[in-house]
Amino acid sequence: MATVPSVSYSITVRLEVPAGGKAVSQLTHAVESAGGVVTALDVTNAGHEKLRIDVTCAARDTDHAQAIVDQLEAVEGVIIHKVSDRTFLMHLGGKIEMKSKVPLRNRDELSMAYTPGVARVSMAIARNKEDARRLTIKRNTVAVVTDGSAVLGLGNIGPEAALPVMEGKAALFKRFAGIDAWPICLDTQDVDEIVRTVQVIAPGFGGINLEDIGAPRCFEVERRLRELLDIPVFHDDQHGTAICVLAALANALRVVNKKMETVKITMAGAGAAGNAVLRLLLAAGARNVIVCDYLGAVHKGRDDLDDSLRWIAEHTNEEGYSGDLRGAVKDADVFVGVSAPGILTGDDIATMAKDPVVFALANPEPEVSPDDAREHAAVVATGRSDFPNQINNVLAFPGVFRGLLDAQAGEVTEQMLLAAAEALAAVVTPEELGPNYIIPSVFHPDVATAVAAAVRECAGGRARGFTEA
Give residue-wise pLDDT tens across range 279-305: 999 999 999 999 999 999 999 999 999
pLDDT reported for residue 272? 87
CA gyration radius, the chain: 25
Longest dimension (CA), the chain: 80
Alpha carbon of 135 to those of 117, 122, 144, 178, 448: distances in Å?
Answer: 13, 9, 22, 18, 25
pLDDT reported for residue 256? 97
Whether the bond into 216 is cis, omega within 30 of 0: yes
Residue 2's pLDDT band (cuts 50, 70, 90): low
Does 212 carry a binding-site annotation?
yes
Assess whether 101 carries a catalytic annotation.
Answer: no
Does 128 carry a binding-site annotation?
no
Give residue-wise pLDDT tens across range 251-269: 999 999 999 999 999 999 9
Q: Say which residue, 468 or 10, is predicted with more confidence.
A: 10
Pairing of strands 180-185, 79-85: unpaired
Mean pLDDT, the chain, whole residue set: 92
pLDDT reported for residue 3? 65
Q: Is the pLDDT of residue 344 over 80?
A: yes
Does 237 carry a binding-site annotation?
yes
pLDDT reported for residue 239? 95
SS (H, E, C) the chain: CCCCCEEEEEEEEEEEEECCCCHHHHHHHHHHHCCCEEEEEEEEEECCCEEEEEEEEEECCHHHHHHHHHHHHCCCCCEEEEEEEHHHHHHCCCCCCCCCCCCCCCHHHHHHHCCCHHHHHHHHHHHCCCHHHHHCHHHHEEEEEECCCCECCCECCCHHHHHHHHHHHHHHHHHHHCCEEEEEECCCCCHHHHHHHHHHHHHHCCEEEECCCCCCHHHHHHHHHHHHCCCCEEEHHHHHHHHHHHHHHHHHHHHHCCCCCCCEEEEECCCHHHHHHHHHHHHCCCCEEEEEECCEECCCCCCCCCHHHHHHHHHCCCCCCCCCHHHHHCCCCEEEECCCCCCCCHHHHHCCCCCCEEEECCCCCCCCCHHHHHCCCCEEEECCCCCCCECCHHHCHHHHHHHHHHCCCCCCCHHHHHHHHHHHHHCCCCCCCECCECCCCCCCCCHHHHHHHHHHHHHCCCCCCCCCC
How far apart (Å, rounded) are the C-alpha atoms in residues 273 and 118? 44
Pairing of strands 37-46, 296-297: unpaired
User: Can you list the domains of the chain with their CATH numbers?
Assistant: 6-91 (3.30.70.260), 138-231 (3.40.50.10380), 237-469 (3.40.50.720)
Q: Say which residue, 211 or 40, is predicted with more confidence.
A: 211
CA 195 to chain centre: 23
pLDDT reported for residue 382? 94
* Residue 228: closest CA among 277, 275, 191, 184: 191
Assess whether 259 carries a catalytic annotation.
Answer: no
Residue 9's pLDDT band (cuts 50, 70, 90): confident
Q: Which residue among 9, 138, 169, 258 is the active-site one?
A: 169
Contact 290, 265 (CB under 8 A): yes
Query: Mean pLDDT, to the nearest integer, of 84-89?
Result: 88
Provide φ and ψ at 317, rounded to 5°.
50, 55
Amino acid at 234: F
pLDDT reported for residue 21? 66
72: which residues sit within 8 A by CB, 6+ positions away? 13, 15, 27, 30, 31, 55, 78, 80
Q: What size, in residues, is the chain? A: 469
How far apart (Å, rounded) are the C-alpha atoms in residues 78 and 16? 6
Q: Say which residue, 132 or 2, is predicted with more confidence.
A: 132
How far apart (Å, rounded) are the C-alpha atoms in residues 232 and 202? 10
Does 106 carry a binding-site annotation?
no
Give residue-wise pLDDT tens across range 25-36: 789 889 999 999
Provide φ and ψ at 291, rounded to 5°.
-110, 135
Whole-model pTM: value is: 0.87
How far apart (Å, rounded) are the C-alpha atoms in residues 449 and 461? 19
Does 222 carry a binding-site annotation?
no
Contact 321, 327 (CB under 8 A): yes
Query: Mean pLDDT, to the nearest integer, of 370-393?
Result: 92
Q: Which residue among 22, 114, 129, 294 is the active-site one?
A: 114
Alpha carbon of 369 to those of 4, 335, 352, 377: distances in Å?
Answer: 14, 13, 16, 12
